[in-house]
Amino acid sequence: MDTVQKWKPNLIISGILALLTTLFAFFYVNKAKWFIVYLLLIIPVALTYWYFDLNLRYVYVLSCFIHVLFIAHRYDVSQQRHNYSRWWGITTSVIISILLVFLFRLFLYEPFRIPASSMNPSIKIGDHILVNKQGFGTYTTFGFNLHKAKPSESVQLKRGSLYVFFTPGKKQDTIFIKRLIGLPGDDISIQEDRIKLNGQYLPQNIVSENDTSIIMDEYSDNTSYQIQLMKNMPPIMSRMNNLTIPDDHYFFIGDNRLNSLDSRRMGPIPADHLIGEVTYVFKKND
């Protein structure tokens, strides 16, 4: 009577795959359900990092490693081996997953971490933002630039909202986040960092004040947001005479008004340099 040799995952290969591909090692040990579980666990791990700056990545990898080895050691050789556990199934799964993540970040939504203080107090160093890229026409991620075009007609940019863009003369992987102040055709002038838009100063109210800074509410159209003025810093631009924003250009300013590289220095930003609109801010727990 012929005998069929039962397959069992190799412990060494299981460990190497767990270290190199983390959750994809569960495909090799023939346990797709655990792949799904660990895929879902990425969400709380990411949120913990974003909100509390607690890096659980190594705990996550170690958990995958130990769990995969446990499954491989206790593997039941009588179970059916699925195609996804074979080398070509694992390779295909990894490639498809990378491609999906890449396309999602390229065309739909992309997270960014804030490295500088130019948007204080609205967005602080270490906060994360989620950017909606749909309809903006300029698609770039991980330093890869696929296409550059101005936003479609379905995208209605709003004064007071937050957007990300790259600037003329800068690499497209250098991303800026600023608040939109002026639309094409608007007249803007600045006096001691007060903004005059189409003949009217943007309304401001003092919220708090201490020895180093002043926090103010500012209003643009129907949007309210907070800005910061540092007392020990001179105005970036004490006066800017009337500037009419050209067609297909936008005027952006940082909320940390005395410590922000923005359209006061760079000039209006071309429409085909806009990447997307900030849809959510993940505040770091201080």
Give per-residue pLDDT as tens, 201-224: 999 999 999 999 999 999 998 899
Q: Are residues 196 and 272 in the same domain?
A: yes
Q: How far apart are CA 74 and CA 254, in angstroms?
A: 57
Name the domain boundary from 85, 101, 126.
Answer: 85
Q: Are residues 190 and 65 in the same domain?
A: no
Residue 44 shares a structural domain with residue 146: no
- Indicate whether 54 and 179 sit together in one domain: no
Res. 278 pLDDT band, cuts 50 70 90: very high
Residues 77 and 126 in one domain: no
Q: Measured over all CA atoms, what is the biggest interatomic distance in the chain, rounded to whole angstroms? A: 95
Mean pLDDT of the chain: 90
The count of structural domains within the chain is 2
List the domain range (segments joined by +) for residue 58.
Answer: 11-85
Helix, strand and coil in the chain, % to nearest 5: 30, 30, 40
Same structural domain, 29 and 164: no
Q: How many CB atoms lie within 10 A of CB 124?
A: 16
CA distances from 259 to 114, 117, 128, 157, 238 (A): 15, 8, 20, 24, 14
Beta strands in the chain (DSSP E): 109-113, 128-132, 139-141, 144-147, 162-165, 176-182, 187-191, 194-197, 200-201, 204-209, 213-220, 223-230, 239-244, 249-253, 269-270, 274-282
Residue 1 lies in a domain: no
Nearest-10 Cα torsion for 76, 81, 84, 90? 60
Asked if pLDDT for residue 122 goes beyond 90, the answer is yes
Cβ count near 237 (within 10 Å): 12
Inside any domain, residue 138: yes
103 occurs within a structural domain: no
| CATH code where residue 150 lies | 2.10.109.10
Q: Same structural domain for residues 120 and 220?
A: yes
Q: Cα separation of 174 and 116, whole Å? A: 13
User: Domain check: are 139 and 232 in the same one?
Assistant: yes
pTM over 0.85: yes
Whether 284 shows a pLDDT value over 90: the answer reads no
Q: Which two tokens stand for residue 157?
A: 């940019």
Is 44 part of any domain? yes
The reply to whether 69 and 121 lie within a common domain is: no
User: Is 104 a member of any domain?
Assistant: no
Contact 65, 18 (CB under 8 A): yes
Classify residue 102: in a domain, yes or no. no
Least confident piece of the model among 9-13, 125-129, 159-163: 125-129
Q: Is residue 91 part of a domain?
A: no
Choosing from 21, 51, 85, the residue where a domain stops is: 85
DSSP bridge partners of 111: 130
pLDDT in tens, 30-82: 999 999 999 999 999 988 888 877 888 899 999 999 999 999 999 999 999 99
**Encoded tokens for 71:** 């499954």
User: Is 257 in the same domain as 116?
Assistant: yes
Q: In the block, which residue shows the tokens 């180093």?
A: 212
Whether 242 maps to a domain, the answer reads yes
Q: Are residues 160 and 214 in the same domain?
A: yes
Q: Are residues 61 and 118 in the same domain?
A: no
